[in-house]
A and B are shown apart, each in its own frame.
Chain A
Amino acid sequence: MRRELCAGALLLLLIAGAVWNLHIADRLTERVSDSLGRAEQAARREDYDGALQALEEALELWDGAKTYTQMFFRQPDLDGLQDAFSDLGQLLRQEDPAWPAALDLLRYHLDMVDRMEHLSLGTIF
């Protein structure tokens, strides 16, 4: 019976771990999204330095959680996100008016990474 109790406890621990992971992923993507929101507002004011600074903050937040993201997210998803960060940065530096499309793509990648952890019929099946 002890073995069954240990297995039950381990299963509960895994479920708790999954919920905790969901929370961590949500918090991380939310903070990165906030920084991206600030970058968008600055870029709309044509304050490209401010936009780049906010983007830098978002990238620092993301890179700061590298150990976590590499442990829990798939590498192709992370690569896509990293490329989107880099593309947006380049367009903002060039003050290219095409930056909103790059920002949308970055948000899409961020949303994809976050959504992969959420329980829904779509992600399960």
Chain B
Amino acid sequence: MAIVLVRTLIIYFALLLAMRLLGKRQLGEMELSEFVVAALIADLASHPLQDMGIPLINGLVPILVLFCCEVLIAGLSMKSIRLRSLIFGRPSLLIVKGRILQREMLKNRFTLDELMQELRAQGVSDLNSVAYGILETNGKLSLLLSPADSPVTAGQLQVKTEDTGYPSIVISDGRVLEANLKHLGYDRLWLNKQLKQYGADSPRQVFLMTASSTGAVYFAAKEAAK
């Protein structure tokens, strides 16, 4: 029992470290090689946990090797465009000015059902409104609408808009995040003033408070426990 516990902890922290060092990408955003490595690592790690007869090192060494290969390939592909296209592939144009490029669809094994599903998911009901449909290397379809069907921007309307700044959390579930407060250029005095303005006596009464460098504040009081 204790052995299983210790072995699981070791594998867990090794996995956690490997995945943390590999990056923060979500499953759907992974490139092919990243997905392969993530799936392999998870599978490899499970074997020494299921079978106590397999040395733990047989699970740890493959994780380390895959981690090293992934970091090296990712680093080298940053430097070499040729290597990047060889390993990760290239984006493919599936739609050009409303016309579906059937040969590209076939080449990428992308079915019409999948295409229609992606169009619906992105709120596009008319294929004619798509200027370019690009199948990205992570398997996602990017749609660029034709200028006539693109939403009008404030810039096009020549409407002046104000920068709301980047909101940072300053109070999270009653705890003041001093580093964020300092980074925004505010201090406790400013915070207390804001709290008073929103009717709170102390940060402990706040569930979430964000602030940006432009002074925009979001405030959510903590609900009373039932």
Interface residues of A (CB under 8 A from B): 1, 3-4, 6-8, 10-11, 14, 70-76
Interface residues of B (CB under 8 A from A): 21, 52-58, 61, 64-65, 67-69, 71-72, 75-76
- Asked if residues B53 and A4 are in contact (CB atoms below 8 Å), the reply is no
Which residues in A have their C-beta under 8 angstroms from that of B53? 74-76
Shortest distance between the CB of A1 and any CB in chain B (Å) = 7
- Asked if residues B57 and A72 are in contact (CB atoms below 8 Å), the reply is yes
If over half of B's interface residues share one DSSP class (helix, strand or loop), that class is named, otherwise mixed; here it is: helix
- Asked if residues B68 and A7 are in contact (CB atoms below 8 Å), the reply is yes
Q: Give Cα A97–Cα B56 distance, bound, in whole angstroms.
A: 41
- Asked if residues B64 and A10 are in contact (CB atoms below 8 Å), the reply is yes
Tell which of B52, B56, B64 touches A14, judged by Cβ atoms closer than 8 Å: B64
Contact (A14, B75) CB under 8 Å given A71-B57, A73-B55: no
Interface hub of B52, B55, B58, B69 (most chain A Cβ within 10 A)? B55
- Asked if residues A4 and B71 are in contact (CB atoms below 8 Å), the reply is yes
Q: Give Cα A69–Cα B52 distance, bound, in whole angstroms.
A: 14
- Asked if residues A11 and B69 are in contact (CB atoms below 8 Å), the reply is yes
- Asked if residues A14 and B76 are in contact (CB atoms below 8 Å), the reply is no
Shortest distance between the CB of A69 and any CB in chain B (Å) = 9
Q: List 11 A-B contacts (CB under 8 A).
A: A4-B71, A8-B68, A8-B72, A11-B68, A11-B69, A14-B61, A14-B68, A70-B55, A71-B57, A72-B57, A76-B53
Q: Give Cα A93–Cα B138 distance, bound, in whole angstroms.
A: 68
Among all A-B residue pairs, the 4 with the closest Cβ atoms: A4-B75, A75-B53, A7-B71, A11-B68
Shortest distance between the CB of A83 and any CB in chain B (Å) = 15
- Asked if residues B75 and A72 are in contact (CB atoms below 8 Å), the reply is no
Residue of A nearest to B70 (CB): A7
Q: Give Cα A71–Cα B55 distance, bound, in whole angstroms.
A: 6
Tell which of A3, A4, A10, A74 touches B54, judged by Cβ atoms closer than 8 Å: A74
Shortest distance between the CB of B200 and any CB in chain A (Å) = 43
Shortest distance between the CB of A123 and any CB in chain B (Å) = 14
Which residues in B have their C-beta under 8 angstroms from that of A76? 53
- Asked if residues A72 and B55 are in contact (CB atoms below 8 Å), the reply is yes
